[in-house]
Amino acid sequence: MKKFDVGFAVAGSVMSIVFLMLVNFLTSPDYPWFIYPSFVLLLWPIGLYSVKNGKHKQLSLTYSALIIAFLTVENYINSPQYPWSIYAIYPIFWWPILVHLEKRARTMTVALAGSISIILYYSILNVLLSPAYPWVIYPAFVVLWWPLAIFHTKKKTFFEFSIHASLLISVFFICVNVISTPDTIWAVYPIFCVLWWPLSMYYFVFKRKLTK
């Protein structure tokens, strides 16, 4: 059975997709809903073949291309007036990029290049598509954790990480507060909670090391 499992997956996927297409066009031809289960069914034989043959790099590239194609088709069918699929294209392509880089993907250089390029990508989209609100601060906040975590993990400076991470979180909440609701000062509440992180790290980890 092991010799034919990939062939079985291909045959099963093709048969299922054809069946779903027929049901779709016979019962509800106004909307091509078969693309959703078909997308999942396509991942089955591709993933099985790649894992069995150790082709993880090709798997990441193929899956990324399929996901982007699926999102583009979904965008075109349901909301062609707004190209929302482009928000996901560049971050998705970082999956095969990191897989192809292998050990170099864990370096500080790659983390900085990736985070800066992603922030620039969303900054351009923000200016071109929706300049009324600087929403780029949200993906920027998430992406900045990448180089920050790698830097302190390599140096094993976990107490310093808690300080820098708390500063990043505090700056983020302050920016959101000023931009979204400048009349209400609410950022102090999450900032107060975040400050307990470096404080606890100092008394229960860092201070104990100094006293030894």
Contact 175, 187 (CB under 8 A): no
pLDDT at 94 over 90: yes
Question: What's the average model confidence in pLDDT over 56-60?
Answer: 89
**The predicted structure's pLDDT at residue 72:** 94
Which tokens is 198 given? 């470096």
In whole angstroms, what is the distance from residue 197 CA to residue 212 CA? 22
Nearest CA among 200, 176, 203, 197 for reference residue 187: 176
In whole angstroms, what is the distance from residue 131 CA to residue 70 CA? 27
Tell me the pLDDT band of 192, cut-offs 50, 70 and 90. Answer: very high
Tell me the pLDDT band of 54, cut-offs 50, 70 and 90. Answer: confident
pTM recorded for the entire structure? 0.82
**The predicted structure's pLDDT at residue 206:** 58
Poorest-confidence range of 16-20, 89-93, 118-122, 206-210?
A: 206-210
pLDDT at 212 over 50: yes
Tell me the pLDDT band of 200, cut-offs 50, 70 and 90. Answer: confident
Query: DSSP assignment of 97-150, as one string?
Result: HHHHHGGGGGSHHHHHHHHHHHHHHHHHHHHHH-TTS-TTHHHHHHHTHHHHHH
pLDDT at 37 over 60: yes
**Taking the mean position of all CA atoms in its chain, how far away is CA 189?**
28
